[in-house]
Amino acid sequence: MGGVRHGASGDKVLPTQASPALRTASPFVAKRRSAMVAARDLSPRASTLCEPTMTSSADHSYPFSKYHGLGNDFIVIDLRAEARADHRTGSLSPADFVGPTAVRLCDRHRGIGADGLLLFTGSLSRPQMRVVNADGSVPEMCGNGLRCFVKHVVDRFDVAGHQLTVITDAGPLACSFERGADGRVSQVSVAMGSPSYAPADVPVASAAPLIDHALEVDGLTLHITGVGTGNPHLVLFDELTDAQRQRLGPVLSSHPLFPAHANVEFCALIDT
Are the C-beta atoms of 189 and 37 separated by less than 8 Å? Answer: yes
Helix (H, G, I), strand (E, B) or coil at 46: helix
pLDDT at 89: 56
Helix (H, G, I), strand (E, B) or coil at 113: coil
The residue-averaged pLDDT of 28-34 equals 26
pLDDT at 51: 52
pLDDT at 124: 93
pLDDT tens digits, 112-137:
999 999 999 999 999 999 999 999 99
- Stretch (H or E) spanning 54: strand 53-57
pLDDT over 80 at 30, yes or no: no
Give yes or no for a cis peptide into 203 (omega within 30° of 0): yes
State how far the alpha carbon of 44 is from the alpha carbons of 50, 74, 86, 95, 160, in Å: 14, 20, 30, 36, 20
pLDDT tens digits, 38-82:
333 332 222 233 455 555 555 567 889 999 888 889 999 999 988
Q: Predicted confidence band at 272 (pLDDT cuts at 50, 70, 90)?
A: low
Are the C-beta atoms of 149 and 167 separated by less than 8 Å? Answer: no
168: alpha, beta or left, given left = phi > 0 and alpha = psi -120 to 50? beta
CB atoms within 10 A of CB 92: 19
- pTM of the predicted model as reported, rounded to 2 decimal places: 0.72
Distance, CA of 78 to CA of 55 (rounded, Å): 12
What single-letter amino acid sits at 44? P
pLDDT at 56: 55
What single-letter amino acid sits at 257? L
CB atoms within 10 A of CB 198: 13
Instruction: Give the phi and the psi of residue 255 in degrees, each rounded to 5.
Output: -65, 145
